[in-house]
Amino acid sequence: MMHFTDEIYPFNGLKSYRKCSRGFVFDEHNRVAMMHIVSKDEFGERDHYELPGGGRIGNETYANCFWREAGEELGLLIYDPEYLTTITYDYNLLGCRTKAKIFYARKRCDFMTFWTPLEKKLFAGIEWRTIDEWIDYLGKNLGEGVNYLVQRRDLYLFRLLKDTLLLN
């Protein structure tokens, strides 16, 4: 299991653990959706792309969590998610360690997004690019601060997805 440490912000101990799902949704043109996050918060200026996903609710399975998050954040129904890997990552400013199961799935159809009030403040939109286009973009634009932490993680996952799909 890959673990991403936060070497950007000072470590003040772990206060919480989070379980979530995130991953890749392909459209009919084999492009992958990413959320564009633009905001200013405790991390400072944010302007990065991030794979859709979020925390599990109750006894929800990781796969169902990803299915729900794809619907809420992307406004899409997806086919059954396929498991890719599990990672962990830390955010020192939040004192949080997250365990995330990563999935990939195909878009089934559009419906509508259900963004929370926080997501409405953070999300600038959804962008679709091919795996190679995302790898190229993220490799050249990791950014600083939280932008770096998120995009470094997702660049790793895009490369892993590409390698995995080439093997199948």
Tell me what pLDDT residue 84 has: 98
Tell me what pLDDT residue 119 has: 74
Residue 121 confidence class, pLDDT cut points 50, 70, 90: confident
Residue identified by tokens 């459209």 is 27
Phi, psi (rounded to 5 degrees) for 29: -105, 15
Residue 19 confidence class, pLDDT cut points 50, 70, 90: very high
Q: How far is it, in rounded angstroms, from Cα 93 to Cα 90?
A: 9
Domains (range + CATH), the chain: 2-41+48-163 (3.90.79.10)
Nearest to 8 by CA among 151, 126, 112, 118: 151
Q: How far is it, in rounded angstroms, from Cα 142 to Cα 148?
A: 5
- Structure confidence by residue, pLDDT tens digits, 105-115: 999 987 767 77
* Cβ count within 10 A of residue 65: 23
Q: 113: number of CA atoms within 13 Å, CB side?
A: 13
- Structure confidence by residue, pLDDT tens digits, 24-47: 999 999 999 999 999 888 888 999
Tell me what pLDDT residue 127 has: 95
Whether 159 has a pLDDT exceeding 70, the answer reads: yes
Residue 167 confidence class, pLDDT cut points 50, 70, 90: low
129 - beta bridge partners?
32
Range 42-62 average pLDDT:
94
Whether 155 has a pLDDT exceeding 90, the answer reads: yes
Indicate whether this model's pTM tops 0.85.
yes
Q: How far is it, in rounded angstroms, from Cα 92 to Cα 94?
A: 5
Residue identified by tokens 């963004």 is 115
Tokens matching residue 41: 């918060």
User: Percent of the chain having pLDDT more than 70?
Assistant: 98
Contacting residues for 68 by C-beta, under 8 A, at least 6 apart = 57, 60
pLDDT mean across residues, the chain = 93
Tell me what pLDDT residue 117 has: 79
Contact (Cβ atoms closer than 8 angstroms) between residue 27 and residue 128? yes
